[in-house]
């Protein structure tokens, strides 16, 4: 089995399209199609079924791909081990993180990492949590900076946990209930009965996010059907809506910082999620990858605020 040919077939499987796979591989669609036809001729049977421009592996294709993935994994692990033995400082880390907090973290950590490993490059994917898990399972990335609810870890992944973070309620300082927050609410996070906000309008996270899942569970626990102004995938947008005295929002606890325009509360049932770095179980981590995880661990330890629980 030719490794380059194997990589071509895996790309077709991942992209489910000849054209998209060719674009990913930086070759022409015609050249990739010829490689596939050549391999199928050698094997005497098709590896993919063409359905409405979608490439679906046949039974033979699935068998071929299972071995193909094993060979690519063996190649990559072998190279990592050899580089570690030789103490070489060249290579690539395929990393995923969220567009907002993750990008800020990476920008802060990269100069420190680059100083030790100037020859290591990064292949970055910015994505939401579910997409990151998919990229890990498809082996398109090695590491992902993720968040996950308690007991909701993917059984195929290994997690380096950084600790828990609470979902908090941010309320405009001009709101009639803001006085209940007291002093330094960003630190004390006093409890608030959410039913008192049953007539308020909220800006909520989009439905594809973990924070929305936790917010929905909080509303359900308090028997509230929220009135929604709009949904956004950007925590900064929600924070600014509250800062501009528009509405209450739910945010990760790390966003609870001193601000004269906002007060913060805890709300039952005190939903939490965990932050960590995830990778496929059984993955060999190179020295640079382990060092990056160490940097992220230290960064998160400094970044997380005080908790009241």
CA 218 from chain centre, in angstroms, equals: 22
Q: Which of 51, 5, 43 is nearest to 27 (CA)?
A: 5
Domains in the chain with CATH codes: 3-80 (1.10.10.10), 92-162+275-303 (3.40.190.10), 164-273 (3.40.190.290)
What's the token pair of residue 149? 């609810």
Q: Is 266 helix (H, G, I), strand (E, B) or coil?
A: strand
Q: Is 146 exposed, middle or buried (0-12, 13-18, 19+ CB in 10 A)?
A: buried
CA dist., res. 106 & res. 120, Å (int): 14
Q: What is the mean pLDDT of the chain?
A: 90
CA dist., res. 5 & res. 39, Å (int): 8
Query: What is the predicted pLDDT for the residue at 150?
Result: 83
Q: Are 101 and 131 in contact (CB under 8 A)?
A: no
pTM for this entry: 0.70
Lowest mean pLDDT among 72-76, 195-199, 217-221, 256-260: 72-76
SS3 of 108-148: HHHHHHHHHCCEEEEEEEECCHHHHHHHHHCCCCCEEEEEE
307 pLDDT band, cuts 50/70/90, is very low
CA dist., res. 10 & res. 114, Å (int): 31
306 pLDDT band, cuts 50/70/90, is very low
Query: What is the predicted pLDDT for the residue at 115?
Result: 94
């Amino acid at each position: 089995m030719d490794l380059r040919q194997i990589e071509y077939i895996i790309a077709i499987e991942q992209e489910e399209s000849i054209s998209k796979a060719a674009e990913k591989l930086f070759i022409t669609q015609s050249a990739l199609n010829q490689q596939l036809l050549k391999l199928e001729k050698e094997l005497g049977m098709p590896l993919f079924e063409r359905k409405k421009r979608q490439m679906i592996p046949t039974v033979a294709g699935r068998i071929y791909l299972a071995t193909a993935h094993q060979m690519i994994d063996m190649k990559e692990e072998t190279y990592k081990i050899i580089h570690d033995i030789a103490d070489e400082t060249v290579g690539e880390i395929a990393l995923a993180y969220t567009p907002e907090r993750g990008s800020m973290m990476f920008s802060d950590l990269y100069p420190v990492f680059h100083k030790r490993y100037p020859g290591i490059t990064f292949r970055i994917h910015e994505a939401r949590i579910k997409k990151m898990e998919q990229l890990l399972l498809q082996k398109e990335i090695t590491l992902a900076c993720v968040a996950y609810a308690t007991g909701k870890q993917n059984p195929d992944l290994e997690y380096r946990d950084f600790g828990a973070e609470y979902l908090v309620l941010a309320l405009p300082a001009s709101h009639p209930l803001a006085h209940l927050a007291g002093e330094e609410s960003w630190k004390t996070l006093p409890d608030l009965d959410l039913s008192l906000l049953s007539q308020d309008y909220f800006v909520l996270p989009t439905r594809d996010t973990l924070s929305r899942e936790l917010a929905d569970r909080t509303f359900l626990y308090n028997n509230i059907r929220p009135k929604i102004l709009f949904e956004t995938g950007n925590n900064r947008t929600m924070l600014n809506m509250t800062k501009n005295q528009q509405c209450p929002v739910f945010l990760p606890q790390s966003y609870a910082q001193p601000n004269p325009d906002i007060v913060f509360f805890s709300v039952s049932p005190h939903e939490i999620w965990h932050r960590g770095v995830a990778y496929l179980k059984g993955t060999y981590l190179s020295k640079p990858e382990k060092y990056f995880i160490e940097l992220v661990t230290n960064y998160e330890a400094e970044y997380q605020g005080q908790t009241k629980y």
